[in-house]
Amino acid sequence: MVPTLVAAAVAALLAAALLGPAFDRRSLFLVVLAGVVPDLDAAVSLVVCGATNAAFHTLVLPGLFGIALYWDTTRRERSWLRERYGWRGVRIAWVALASYLVAGIGLDLFSPEGVALFYPVQDRFYAVSGRLLYSTQDGLVQTYVTIGGEGVLSVGSPGTTANHHVESWLNPTPDTGWDRGAERRLTLVETGWQTIVVVAAAGVLAIRGWGTSDRTEVSA
């Protein structure tokens, strides 16, 4: 899977961009937590075969949460969330959902290892990779999405939970159960661009934190 640190960095950038006046240390922590929680399905894979990038990287969980959130905040006469936590609670809940979907699942969907989007309904992994460019010789080239046999759009798939294993610190081997002898690798960043995403998130948080402390000094 894409390193959890990179997911945390994307989640932090989303928090800074979308929380608005609800942005503070606590809400930042909640949104980053929502972005890294999907990676805990590596622990599930110790019990259920092939659960890494599947059990929590599914659209089913955030889909149910999103429906409940939408129903509570817009359809009901009196929203439980709004009465309890006010405007900030509603904003933080929506941004946390976005963080889960975009930083938690999306980041892995666009990596070669892919995610099982519809687990447990379907156990196939999906991975979007390819290229989109314009060449003066070949015209417009697009290989991210292919049109299948019956006109169905499809993206690449590295396999199913039965035959595709995503390596992680908790479960480096394809089997279930804790392997005592195996080498474990905790990857913080794999490539240059991931490093830059982490650097950018750190830079943005430093600038935002500096700006906030500046403002409180002025008002005090």
Partner 1 sequence: MPATTVHLGFGLLVAAALLPSERFDRKLLAVFAAILIFPDLDSIPGWWLPGAHRAMFHTLVLVGVAAAAIYYDTQLRERSWLRERGGDWAVRAAWGLLATHLLAHLFLDWAHLSGINLVYPIGDQFFRLEGKLVYSTADGWIQTFVDIGSDEGGGTTIDVGQQGSTDDVHVSTPTDPEPGGGVDKDVERIVPFAVHGWQLYLILLGLFTVGARRLQGEPPEQALEE
Q: What residue ranges bind partner 1 (CB under 8 A)?
A: 10, 13-14, 16-23, 87-88, 91, 98, 102, 106-107, 109-112, 127-137, 144, 183-193, 195-197, 199-200, 203-204, 207-208
**Cα distance from N-terminal residue to C-terminal residue, the chain:** 46
Nearer to partner 1, 48 or 110 (CB): 110
How many other C-beta atoms can be found within 10 angstroms of the C-beta atom of residue 28? Answer: 21
Choice between 10 and 37, CB closer to partner 1: 10
Here the tokens at position 78 are 């009196």
Q: How far is the CB of 111 from partner 1 (least distance, A)?
A: 6
Shortest distance, position 205 Cβ to partner 1, whole Å = 9
User: What is the C-alpha to C-alpha distance for residues 38 and 43, in angstroms, rounded to an integer?
Assistant: 10
What is the maximum span of the chain, computed from C-alpha positions, in angstroms? 67
Instruction: Please say which residue, 10 or 69, places its beta carbon nearer to partner 1.
Output: 10
Distance of closest approach, residue 155 Cβ to partner 1, in angstroms: 9
The first and second tokens of residue 121, run together, are 């309904």
Least distance (Å) between residue 103 CB and partner 1: 9
Whole-angstrom Cα distance, residue 58 to residue 119? 5
Cβ closest to partner 1, residue 68 vs residue 206: 206
Question: Which of 136, 135, 111 has its CA nearest to residue 125?
Answer: 111
Provide the β-strand partners of residue 153: 147
Q: Give the residue with the Cβ less far from partner 1, 137 or 213.
A: 137
Closest distance to partner 1 from the beta carbon of 149 (Å): 24
